[in-house]
Amino acid sequence: MSDDRGHLRASFDSAADLYQRARPEYPAALYDALIETAELNAGDRLLEIGCATGKATLPLARRGFRITCVEPGPALASAARLNLSDFPDVEVIDSAFESYEAPKADRFDLVFAATAWHWLDPAIRYRRAWELLVPGGHLAFWSATHVFPKDGDPFFAELQEVYEEIGAGLPEGAVYPRPGELPDEREDIERSGLFGDVVVHQFDWEVMYNAEGYLRLLDTFSGHITMRTAQRDRLYSEIRRRLGKRVDGSLRRGWGAALHVARRRAAPAFT
């Protein structure tokens, strides 16, 4: 992992006090699809990669799964333990997934990552997941991504001029993904030679934010956490000013998730 990437990944720990209330909830339908596609039953053992404060852990804990979470950020792991304290079958371990050493007898029915898979070292993430799964077990990952419906809020496109001004504009060629059109990573999964029977489900939803709620959300994004103070002050003051001119003082943000579920192969099938 590059130093820059590692720095961004580590930055989330500074937002531990905001993460649980600022980040959006994933749709219940996503968990339904995950459980059905991965053929899970209550009591099955799950390993979560990068649980943060337990945003995706809680809904699955409530459904009766036994969950081991690995979280490299100590503040995030501490917050997760507090949020999950009512569930004795959930354990939070301070560790990066890449270096996590499970007891030899510990193998899982599902290894999953919610908005964390893309932060892992691509050279070893599939192999580590494969090693930790029972035969026939499943890998699943998804992310909460900004999507832009055709009738979506124009606020974000209009705000790009401010991002450009502070030197934080979108890279050349960046696209505004539509709901249901998030990237499908099945080729990457199959290329590993370790997983097959890949199923991809797309979900989208919308959240309303007032100015302070939206700024709390931005404070959980690595790109905003690591901004220089002057950049962030200029951007945030402009967001407050622009939303203050709206009658209801709010914006609509579209969210999307592409849930990927794949079955562990009995043996590697490298080509």
Domain ranges of the chain: 3-149+176-207+256-264
pTM score: 0.90
User: For residues 24 and 242, is the Cβ–Cβ distance under 8 A?
Assistant: no
pLDDT, tens digit, 9 for 90 and up, residues 233-265: 999 999 999 999 999 999 999 999 999 999 999
The pair of structure tokens assigned to 241 is 């000013």
Question: Cα separations (Å) of 265 from 86, 135, 254?
Answer: 35, 7, 35
pLDDT mean over 53-81: 95
Domain 3-149+176-207+256-264 in CATH 3.40.50.150? The answer is yes
Reported confidence tier of residue 15, pLDDT bands at 50, 70, 90: low
Q: What is the pLDDT of residue 171?
A: 86
Helix (H) or strand (E) holding 157: helix 155-165
pLDDT score of 12 more than 80: no
Q: What average pLDDT is seen over the chain?
A: 92
Q: What is the pLDDT of residue 237?
A: 97
CA proximity to 50, closest of 97, 104, 87, 1: 97
pLDDT score of 11 more than 70: no
Reported confidence tier of residue 87, pLDDT bands at 50, 70, 90: very high
Tracing tokens 């192969």 back to the chain, one arrives at 265
pLDDT, tens digit, 9 for 90 and up, residues 155-212: 999 999 999 999 999 888 888 999 999 999 999 999 999 999 999 999 999 999 999 9
pLDDT mean over 67-88: 95
Q: Please state, for a pLDDT cut of 90, what percent of the chain lies above it.
A: 82
Q: What is the pLDDT of residue 116?
A: 93
